[in-house]
Amino acid sequence: MDLKPDREMTAMTNDGPVPVAPLMSMFDPIYIGIDEFGQPVYTSVIYRNLLAGGEPGGGKSGLLNAICGHAAMCLDTSLVLFDGKRVELGPWQPIADEFVVGGMDHAISVLERLQKVLDNRYEWLAHLIDFGSVRRKIVPTDNVRVILTVIDELALYSATYGTKLQQERFVVLLRDLVARGRAAAMPVVVATQRPSHDIIPTSLRDLFGYRAAFRCTTPNSSNIVLGNGWAEQGYNAQDISPENQGQAYLLTEGGTPQKVKVCYLSDDNINDLAKHAKWIRKPMSGGVA
Ligand SMILES: Nc1ncnc2c1ncn2[C@@H]1O[C@H](COP(=O)(O)OP(=O)(O)OP(=O)(O)O)[C@@H](O)[C@H]1O
Ligand SMILES: [Mg+2]
Protein backbone atom coordinates (compact mmCIF):
# COMPACT_ATOMS: atom_id res chain seq x y z
CA MET A 1 0.00 0.00 0.00
CA ASP A 2 1.29 3.46 -0.87
CA LEU A 3 0.95 5.32 2.42
CA LYS A 4 2.20 8.90 2.51
CA PRO A 5 4.06 10.01 5.60
CA ASP A 6 1.73 11.92 7.91
CA ARG A 7 3.64 15.13 7.48
CA GLU A 8 2.65 15.19 3.81
CA MET A 9 -1.05 15.04 4.63
CA THR A 10 -1.53 18.73 5.22
CA ALA A 11 -4.15 21.45 5.04
CA MET A 12 -3.01 24.94 4.09
CA THR A 13 -3.88 27.97 6.21
CA ASN A 14 -2.54 31.50 6.34
CA ASP A 15 -0.15 30.25 8.98
CA GLY A 16 1.22 27.50 6.74
CA PRO A 17 0.59 23.78 6.57
CA VAL A 18 -1.35 22.04 9.33
CA PRO A 19 -1.17 18.28 9.67
CA VAL A 20 -4.46 16.49 9.09
CA ALA A 21 -5.58 13.60 11.33
CA PRO A 22 -4.21 11.66 13.06
CA LEU A 23 -1.86 14.44 14.12
CA MET A 24 -4.44 17.12 14.88
CA SER A 25 -4.25 19.26 17.97
CA MET A 26 -6.60 21.71 19.61
CA PHE A 27 -3.80 24.22 19.16
CA ASP A 28 -4.26 23.95 15.37
CA PRO A 29 -6.68 26.23 13.51
CA ILE A 30 -10.17 24.72 13.30
CA TYR A 31 -11.82 24.63 9.88
CA ILE A 32 -15.36 25.95 10.27
CA GLY A 33 -16.54 26.77 6.75
CA ILE A 34 -16.14 29.20 3.87
CA ASP A 35 -16.39 32.96 3.51
CA GLU A 36 -18.35 34.98 0.92
CA PHE A 37 -15.62 34.34 -1.66
CA GLY A 38 -15.55 30.62 -1.09
CA GLN A 39 -12.29 30.81 0.82
CA PRO A 40 -11.80 28.51 3.82
CA VAL A 41 -12.34 30.04 7.23
CA TYR A 42 -10.42 28.79 10.23
CA THR A 43 -10.81 29.78 13.81
CA SER A 44 -9.34 28.78 17.12
CA VAL A 45 -10.87 28.34 20.51
CA ILE A 46 -7.70 27.68 22.41
CA TYR A 47 -7.18 30.69 24.71
CA ARG A 48 -10.61 31.88 23.54
CA ASN A 49 -14.27 31.45 24.43
CA LEU A 50 -16.96 31.43 21.77
CA LEU A 51 -20.62 32.39 22.09
CA ALA A 52 -23.05 31.49 19.30
CA GLY A 53 -26.57 32.92 19.13
CA GLY A 54 -29.45 33.22 16.72
CA GLU A 55 -32.99 32.12 16.03
CA PRO A 56 -34.09 28.47 16.24
CA GLY A 57 -32.84 26.52 13.23
CA GLY A 58 -30.15 29.08 12.36
CA GLY A 59 -27.28 26.62 12.53
CA LYS A 60 -25.78 27.03 16.01
CA SER A 61 -25.63 23.31 16.76
CA GLY A 62 -24.05 22.81 13.33
CA LEU A 63 -21.17 25.07 14.38
CA LEU A 64 -20.83 23.29 17.71
CA ASN A 65 -20.66 19.97 15.92
CA ALA A 66 -17.96 21.25 13.55
CA ILE A 67 -15.88 22.30 16.57
CA CYS A 68 -16.58 19.00 18.36
CA GLY A 69 -15.56 17.18 15.18
CA HIS A 70 -12.16 18.87 15.25
CA ALA A 71 -11.77 18.32 18.99
CA ALA A 72 -12.71 14.67 18.65
CA MET A 73 -9.73 14.14 16.32
CA CYS A 74 -7.34 15.75 18.80
CA LEU A 75 -5.73 13.29 21.13
CA ASP A 76 -4.61 16.22 23.28
CA THR A 77 -8.21 17.17 24.03
CA SER A 78 -10.93 16.03 26.38
CA LEU A 79 -14.54 16.94 25.72
CA VAL A 80 -17.05 17.97 28.37
CA LEU A 81 -20.45 18.29 26.75
CA PHE A 82 -23.71 19.82 27.97
CA ASP A 83 -26.59 19.04 25.67
CA GLY A 84 -29.95 19.89 27.14
CA LYS A 85 -31.69 18.42 24.10
CA ARG A 86 -29.55 15.27 24.22
CA VAL A 87 -29.54 14.64 20.46
CA GLU A 88 -27.45 17.57 19.20
CA LEU A 89 -24.10 16.44 20.58
CA GLY A 90 -25.19 12.88 21.34
CA PRO A 91 -22.91 11.10 18.84
CA TRP A 92 -19.86 12.46 20.70
CA GLN A 93 -21.02 11.00 24.02
CA PRO A 94 -18.87 7.83 23.78
CA ILE A 95 -15.68 9.90 23.57
CA ALA A 96 -16.71 12.66 25.99
CA ASP A 97 -15.31 12.70 29.51
CA GLU A 98 -18.69 13.97 30.66
CA PHE A 99 -22.00 14.24 28.89
CA VAL A 100 -24.61 16.27 30.75
CA VAL A 101 -28.24 16.22 29.70
CA GLY A 102 -30.90 17.82 31.88
CA GLY A 103 -30.01 17.05 35.48
CA MET A 104 -28.96 20.25 37.23
CA ASP A 105 -27.20 18.34 40.03
CA HIS A 106 -25.07 16.62 37.40
CA ALA A 107 -24.48 19.90 35.53
CA ILE A 108 -23.36 21.67 38.70
CA SER A 109 -21.13 18.84 39.89
CA VAL A 110 -19.37 18.72 36.50
CA LEU A 111 -18.72 22.49 36.63
CA GLU A 112 -17.45 22.15 40.20
CA ARG A 113 -15.02 19.48 39.09
CA LEU A 114 -13.84 21.69 36.23
CA GLN A 115 -13.34 24.50 38.73
CA LYS A 116 -11.13 22.21 40.81
CA VAL A 117 -9.07 21.34 37.72
CA LEU A 118 -8.75 25.05 37.00
CA ASP A 119 -7.47 25.68 40.53
CA ASN A 120 -4.95 22.87 40.18
CA ARG A 121 -3.70 24.13 36.81
CA TYR A 122 -3.24 27.68 38.09
CA GLU A 123 -1.42 26.35 41.13
CA TRP A 124 0.87 24.36 38.86
CA LEU A 125 1.56 27.42 36.68
CA ALA A 126 2.26 29.50 39.79
CA HIS A 127 4.73 26.90 41.11
CA LEU A 128 6.74 26.96 37.88
CA ILE A 129 8.23 30.20 39.17
CA ASP A 130 10.07 28.11 41.78
CA PHE A 131 11.87 26.50 38.86
CA GLY A 132 12.78 29.86 37.35
CA SER A 133 10.02 29.90 34.74
CA VAL A 134 7.40 32.66 34.81
CA ARG A 135 4.38 31.41 32.89
CA ARG A 136 0.92 32.82 32.53
CA LYS A 137 -0.65 30.16 30.36
CA ILE A 138 -0.39 26.54 29.37
CA VAL A 139 1.37 25.91 26.06
CA PRO A 140 1.42 22.82 23.78
CA THR A 141 4.80 21.63 25.01
CA ASP A 142 3.43 21.35 28.56
CA ASN A 143 1.65 18.18 27.44
CA VAL A 144 -1.37 19.18 29.47
CA ARG A 145 -4.69 18.12 27.98
CA VAL A 146 -6.99 20.76 26.58
CA ILE A 147 -10.42 20.43 28.17
CA LEU A 148 -13.06 21.78 25.81
CA THR A 149 -16.45 22.50 27.37
CA VAL A 150 -19.33 22.78 24.90
CA ILE A 151 -22.78 23.85 26.06
CA ASP A 152 -25.65 23.61 23.61
CA GLU A 153 -28.65 25.71 24.57
CA LEU A 154 -27.36 27.47 27.62
CA ALA A 155 -30.84 28.80 28.44
CA LEU A 156 -31.95 25.32 29.47
CA TYR A 157 -29.38 25.37 32.30
CA SER A 158 -29.42 29.06 33.18
CA ALA A 159 -33.14 29.74 33.01
CA THR A 160 -35.24 26.60 32.47
CA TYR A 161 -34.16 23.41 34.23
CA GLY A 162 -33.99 23.08 38.02
CA THR A 163 -34.59 25.66 40.70
CA LYS A 164 -33.61 29.32 40.67
CA LEU A 165 -30.82 28.56 43.13
CA GLN A 166 -29.43 25.81 40.91
CA GLN A 167 -29.57 28.08 37.86
CA GLU A 168 -27.70 30.80 39.74
CA ARG A 169 -25.08 28.33 40.96
CA PHE A 170 -24.65 27.08 37.39
CA VAL A 171 -24.10 30.62 36.09
CA VAL A 172 -21.60 31.49 38.86
CA LEU A 173 -19.54 28.36 38.12
CA LEU A 174 -19.71 28.93 34.38
CA ARG A 175 -18.55 32.52 34.82
CA ASP A 176 -15.48 31.26 36.69
CA LEU A 177 -14.71 28.71 33.98
CA VAL A 178 -15.07 31.28 31.19
CA ALA A 179 -13.07 33.90 33.10
CA ARG A 180 -10.15 31.66 34.09
CA GLY A 181 -10.30 28.75 31.68
CA ARG A 182 -8.60 30.51 28.79
CA ALA A 183 -5.03 30.43 30.10
CA ALA A 184 -5.53 26.99 31.64
CA ALA A 185 -6.28 25.42 28.24
CA MET A 186 -9.93 24.99 29.19
CA PRO A 187 -11.90 26.91 26.54
CA VAL A 188 -15.68 27.16 26.53
CA VAL A 189 -18.04 27.17 23.53
CA VAL A 190 -21.66 28.04 24.19
CA ALA A 191 -24.77 28.29 22.03
CA THR A 192 -28.09 29.81 22.93
CA GLN A 193 -30.92 31.23 20.88
CA ARG A 194 -30.94 34.71 22.37
CA PRO A 195 -28.20 35.54 24.86
CA SER A 196 -30.14 38.38 26.52
CA HIS A 197 -29.44 39.29 30.15
CA ASP A 198 -32.22 37.05 31.51
CA ILE A 199 -30.42 34.04 29.95
CA ILE A 200 -26.81 35.02 30.45
CA PRO A 201 -25.79 37.91 32.70
CA THR A 202 -24.10 40.69 30.74
CA SER A 203 -21.00 40.30 32.91
CA LEU A 204 -20.68 36.69 31.73
CA ARG A 205 -21.62 37.40 28.11
CA ASP A 206 -18.92 40.06 27.86
CA LEU A 207 -16.27 37.47 28.73
CA PHE A 208 -16.81 35.68 25.42
CA GLY A 209 -14.23 37.16 23.06
CA TYR A 210 -15.49 35.33 19.99
CA ARG A 211 -19.09 35.57 18.78
CA ALA A 212 -21.07 33.89 16.02
CA ALA A 213 -24.42 35.45 15.12
CA PHE A 214 -26.69 33.22 13.06
CA ARG A 215 -29.91 34.66 11.66
CA CYS A 216 -31.65 36.91 14.19
CA THR A 217 -35.15 38.33 14.00
CA THR A 218 -34.19 41.90 14.95
CA PRO A 219 -31.10 44.14 14.76
CA ASN A 220 -31.26 44.32 18.55
CA SER A 221 -30.98 40.54 18.84
CA SER A 222 -28.04 40.63 16.43
CA ASN A 223 -26.35 43.26 18.60
CA ILE A 224 -26.95 41.14 21.68
CA VAL A 225 -24.92 38.35 20.08
CA LEU A 226 -22.19 40.37 18.35
CA GLY A 227 -22.04 43.36 20.69
CA ASN A 228 -23.58 46.78 20.63
CA GLY A 229 -23.34 48.88 17.51
CA TRP A 230 -22.41 46.25 14.92
CA ALA A 231 -25.89 46.15 13.32
CA GLU A 232 -25.75 49.92 12.79
CA GLN A 233 -22.39 49.47 11.05
CA GLY A 234 -23.89 46.98 8.60
CA TYR A 235 -23.15 43.73 10.40
CA ASN A 236 -26.71 42.72 11.10
CA ALA A 237 -27.65 39.05 11.37
CA GLN A 238 -31.26 39.94 10.59
CA ASP A 239 -30.09 40.31 6.98
CA ILE A 240 -29.27 36.60 6.78
CA SER A 241 -31.99 34.83 4.83
CA PRO A 242 -34.04 32.32 6.85
CA GLU A 243 -33.30 29.80 4.08
CA ASN A 244 -29.57 30.30 4.48
CA GLN A 245 -29.09 28.08 7.50
CA GLY A 246 -25.54 27.82 8.71
CA GLN A 247 -24.69 31.37 7.60
CA ALA A 248 -23.33 33.54 10.40
CA TYR A 249 -21.38 36.66 11.23
CA LEU A 250 -18.25 35.55 13.02
CA LEU A 251 -16.54 38.09 15.25
CA THR A 252 -13.11 37.27 16.52
CA GLU A 253 -11.23 39.44 18.97
CA GLY A 254 -10.23 42.81 17.65
CA GLY A 255 -11.69 42.30 14.18
CA THR A 256 -14.87 43.10 12.32
CA PRO A 257 -17.56 40.45 11.84
CA GLN A 258 -16.94 38.16 8.88
CA LYS A 259 -19.63 36.29 6.97
CA VAL A 260 -19.14 32.55 7.22
CA LYS A 261 -21.12 29.63 5.87
CA VAL A 262 -20.43 26.96 8.44
CA CYS A 263 -19.46 23.53 7.12
CA TYR A 264 -22.35 21.21 7.80
CA LEU A 265 -21.75 17.71 9.10
CA SER A 266 -24.59 15.36 8.28
CA ASP A 267 -25.62 12.72 10.81
CA ASP A 268 -23.65 10.18 8.77
CA ASN A 269 -20.55 12.41 8.75
CA ILE A 270 -20.79 12.88 12.51
CA ASN A 271 -21.30 9.19 13.15
CA ASP A 272 -18.29 8.34 10.98
CA LEU A 273 -16.11 10.91 12.73
CA ALA A 274 -17.29 9.84 16.17
CA LYS A 275 -16.55 6.22 15.31
CA HIS A 276 -13.06 7.11 14.09
CA ALA A 277 -12.47 9.30 17.16
CA LYS A 278 -13.44 6.44 19.42
CA TRP A 279 -11.02 4.19 17.62
CA ILE A 280 -8.05 6.57 17.80
CA ARG A 281 -8.82 7.25 21.46
CA LYS A 282 -9.05 3.64 22.50
CA PRO A 283 -6.77 2.80 25.43
CA MET A 284 -3.34 1.75 24.17
CA SER A 285 -0.93 -0.58 25.82
CA GLY A 286 1.20 2.50 26.43
CA GLY A 287 -1.60 3.98 28.48
CA VAL A 288 -2.92 6.68 26.17
CA ALA A 289 -6.66 7.07 26.85
N1 LIG B 1 -24.01 25.00 7.79
C2 LIG B 1 -25.17 24.54 7.34
N3 LIG B 1 -25.38 24.32 6.04
C4 LIG B 1 -26.56 23.86 5.58
N5 LIG B 1 -27.63 23.60 6.36
C6 LIG B 1 -27.50 23.79 7.67
C7 LIG B 1 -26.27 24.27 8.23
N8 LIG B 1 -26.43 24.37 9.56
C9 LIG B 1 -27.69 23.97 9.82
N10 LIG B 1 -28.33 23.63 8.69
C11 LIG B 1 -29.70 23.13 8.58
O12 LIG B 1 -30.48 23.82 9.54
C13 LIG B 1 -31.04 22.91 10.48
C14 LIG B 1 -31.01 23.51 11.86
O15 LIG B 1 -29.66 23.70 12.24
P16 LIG B 1 -29.24 23.66 13.75
O17 LIG B 1 -29.89 22.53 14.46
O18 LIG B 1 -27.76 23.74 13.81
O19 LIG B 1 -29.90 25.03 14.28
P20 LIG B 1 -29.86 25.67 15.72
O21 LIG B 1 -29.51 27.10 15.54
O22 LIG B 1 -29.00 24.87 16.61
O23 LIG B 1 -31.39 25.55 16.16
P24 LIG B 1 -32.00 25.43 17.63
O25 LIG B 1 -31.91 26.79 18.25
O26 LIG B 1 -33.42 25.01 17.39
O27 LIG B 1 -31.21 24.41 18.37
C28 LIG B 1 -30.21 21.63 10.34
O29 LIG B 1 -30.95 20.50 10.68
C30 LIG B 1 -29.82 21.65 8.90
O31 LIG B 1 -30.84 21.12 8.10
MG1 LIG C 1 -29.40 23.81 18.28
131 Cα to the center of ligand 1, angstroms: 49
**Residues 110, 33: contact at Cβ < 8 Å?**
no
To test the ligand 1 pocket, which listed residue (41, 60, 192, 245) has its Cβ within 8 A of the most ligand atoms?
A: 245
Q: How many Å separate Cα 157 from the centre of its chain?
A: 17
* Segment 215-235, tens digit of pLDDT: 999 999 999 999 989 999 999
Does residue 22 have a cis peptide bond before it, meaning omega lies within 30 degrees of 0? yes
* Segment 53-107, tens digit of pLDDT: 999 999 999 999 999 999 999 989 999 999 998 899 999 999 999 999 989 999 9
Output the average pLDDT for the chain: 89
Dihedral of the alpha carbons of 177, 61, 263, 239, in degrees to the nearest 10? -100
* Segment 119-142, tens digit of pLDDT: 999 999 988 877 777 778 888 888
The Cα–Cα gap between 185 and 201 comes to 24
Phi-psi region of 236 (alpha: psi -120 to 50; beta: other; left: phi over 0): beta
CA proximity to 160, closest of 100, 80, 81, 104? 104
Any ligand 1 atom below 6 A from CB of 84: no
* Segment 164-176, tens digit of pLDDT: 999 999 999 999 9
- Domains in the chain, ordered, with CATH? 41-276 (3.40.50.300)
Q: Is the pLDDT of residue 4 over 50?
A: no
Ligand nearest to C-alpha 245: 1
Any ligand 1 atom below 6 A from CB of 214: yes
Listing DSSP states for 131-176 in one string gives GT---SS--GGG-PPEEEEEEE-HHIIIIISS-HHHHHHHHHHHHH
HSE-CB for 66 with a 13 A CA cutoff = 24
Q: Is the pLDDT of residue 210 over 80?
A: yes
Q: Is the pLDDT of residue 10 over 60?
A: no
Any ligand 1 atom below 6 A from CB of 61: yes
53 Cα to the center of ligand 1, angstroms: 12
